[in-house]
Amino acid sequence: MAELLVSIQNITKTYDVGEVKIRALRGVSFDVHEGDFLIIRGRNGSGKSTLLRQIGLLDKPNSGEILLEEKKVTHMKEEERRICRLMKIGYIFQEYALIAELTALENILLPALMLEPKKSCEKRAKNLLREFGLEKRMNNLPQQLSGGEQQKVAIARALINNPIIIFADEPTANLDTVAARDVLETFKRLNIEQRYTIVMITHEPEEEKYANRILMLSDGKIV
């Protein structure tokens, strides 16, 4: 049995929009094990992104518990959550979220520079760029890269500190079919060859084939 990495226990999240309360998550529970490539699928508004933000420690649920390597992280102080995000989690945003003024290499290096000197992590960053076929683009700014290339840089940035789990929030939503397939193949390769645990959300049914586990989310509940 693979090791349990993340356990989500009955989490709820409600947003106040003016006087209206939107119950985005209504008691979601599931586990993620080492080596999983889990796709959470659901229609727009089903609560997928909200769920990922809670597990990715970008937001806090109203109730329930999230355990990362059996440690409760839900109510940790912000500084501890930051360290978790830095060292244990690789988060990939739908819109890449690269820093516009940094080159591809500098974007990848930035989280690593929080933990080690540039000399020791630069080679690793360059290896990641080479692995993703971007070695010639390392000195390009995000605006000089295609959408697919930017997303690969974002993936490389998520991997630079060797996280225990990768969360990807609709990483192909802004890409054309070819670039989307390229990104998904990259995830698959990372999962199979390097045993990265990946949790990805999507609303595209055809992307399910890349996963080894699928969860369906509807109206804030696992169905």
Partner 1 sequence: MTKHEAKIPFRLLWVFLRRGNRWTLILIIFLMSVAFINMIFVPTLFDGVIKAADDQVVDMSTGHILMLPESGQNQIADAEKAVEQLRSIPGVVGVSSGLALPTTLEYNNIRGNWQIIAIDPDNERMVTKIFEHMIEGSYLREHDLFSIIIGRQIAGGEDVENNAFSFKDAEVGDTVKVSFDGFSEDFKIGGIFYSKFIDTDQKAFITRDVLDKVVPALAGEANRIIVRLDEDVSVESIVNKISAADIDGIAYSWEDAVGLMKSVTKSFVSINILMTLVASLIAAVTIFIVIYIDVSSKRKQIGILRAIGVKPSLIVWSYIFQAIVYALSGILFGTALYFAALVPYFSAFPFVLPIGDARLAFDAVGYVIRLETFIFVSIGAGLIPVLFITRIKLLNAIWGR
Contact set with partner 1 (CB under 8 A): 53, 58-59, 82-83, 85-87, 91, 93, 97-102, 106, 110-111, 113-114, 116-118, 141, 157, 161
Cα of first residue to Cα of last residue in the chain, in angstroms, is 24
Report, in Å, the least distance between residue 85 CB and partner 1: 5
Q: The tokens 């939503």 sit on which residue?
A: 173
Radius of gyration of the chain (CA): 17
Task: Indicate the residue among 74 and 211 with the shorter CB distance to partner 1.
Answer: 74
**Closer residue to partner 1 (CB): 33 or 94:** 94
| Residue 73 Cβ vs partner 1, minimum distance, rounded to whole Å | 14
156 phi/psi in degrees, rounded to 5: -60, -40
* CB of 53 or CB of 207, closer to partner 1: 53
* Spatial distance between the Cα atoms of 41 and 99, rounded to a whole number of angstroms: 28
What residues does 165 pair with on adjacent strands? 89, 197
CB of 178 to partner 1, least distance (A): 27
206 CB-side CA count, 13 A: 6
User: How does DSSP classify residue 27?
Assistant: E
Cβ 163 to partner 1 shortest distance, Å: 10
Q: Which C-beta is closer to partner 1: that of 151 or that of 211? A: 151
